[in-house]
Amino acid sequence: MEQNEQNSCPACGSNQAIPYLEVKDHFLTGEVFQLLKCSNCELIYTTPRPDKDEIGNYYKSEDYVSHSSTKKGIVNSVYNVVRNYTLNQKVKLVQSLVEGKELLDVGAGTGHFLKRAQDNGFSVLGLEPDPDARNVGKDQLQVELKDLSELYSLSKKNYDALTMWHVLEHVYDLKSDTEQFVSLIKSGGVFIIAVPNYTSYDAEYYKEFWAAYDVPRHLYHFSPASIIPFVEQFGLTLEKMLPMKFDAYYVSMLSEKYKGGSLLNAFKIGNKSNRRAKNGKCSSQIYVFRKK
């Protein structure tokens, strides 16, 4: 597949980056990718990365759990049980942050979050690049999902909340698309972003086996130090930062699978990671930004 070397930081444009890790695509192809860490803004990014029109090939697997409701295997079974709980928590979070009901979810997958939000009174729209996922959302959940290509045709300042649950790390045109996301949010509205955190204990423990690197599908790898100033440059202010404690266990389970380890050790590392997750060190974190 065609790939492009990343010679400058996608977030700040600096060309001062240092090698961080070499990571294999454990999930699908077995290819090895380089992670570079920007010396200026601390973003870690994947290089080389697939061409924009070919990166979709790296998602083509029935096991890609974000677009799947399968309960096959222990990891997927746990994922589905936890998802039901976390969907309710996500909706409650949005309800606590905004009074309005206009909600846009980017990278909506099959639309399970939007369905739960819709059932709680929100007017919802999802953007999702995968046509199969959109069809599931439409046919099985009756939620409105449009292709991601519709992003630049949506009305400005139209949404009380824009959510991205583990999606920003996949966005190909990071800076220009983030600017567009922000333009769609009403003044006083919120931008809610959940991403993995490479400064967590489980990331440091598993190193190149850490499942949340997920190269090359994850093009960027964030920490609080890199994501907060990146988003705030677009006229938002960080309001709160919340841990996603289940992710420490789920990511550790996948990481143990990749390195041939044990389920018992996954729970041990997940628990240890959560105990050390104070001050922005959780395996995955939710960032709530408020638009001025």
The rounded distance, in Å, linking the Cα atoms of 44 and 185 is 27
Q: Which residues contact 114 (CB under 8 A, 6 or more apart)?
A: 103, 105, 108, 124, 125, 126, 137, 141, 143, 144, 145
Q: pLDDT by residue for the chain (292 residues), tens digit each?
A: 667 788 899 999 999 999 999 999 999 999 999 999 999 999 999 999 999 999 999 988 766 545 455 555 666 677 677 888 999 999 999 999 999 999 999 999 999 999 999 999 999 999 999 998 999 999 999 999 999 999 999 999 999 999 999 999 999 999 999 999 999 999 999 999 999 999 999 999 999 999 999 999 999 999 999 999 999 999 999 999 999 999 999 999 999 999 999 999 999 999 999 999 988 999 999 999 999 9
Q: Could you tell me the domains of the chain?
A: 3-291 (3.40.50.150)
Q: Is residue 266 within 8 Å of 253, Cβ to Cβ?
A: yes
> What pLDDT was estimated at residue 65?
45
- Which residue type, as a one-letter code, is found at position 47? T
Tell me the CA distances in angstroms from 132 to 53, 61, 100, 138, 182, one per residue in order: 17, 12, 30, 10, 27
Burial 62-101 (b: 16+ CB within 10 A, else e): eebbbbbeeeeeebeebbeeebeebbeebbebbeebbeeb
Q: What are the pLDDT digits (tens) for 172-192?
A: 999 999 999 999 999 999 999
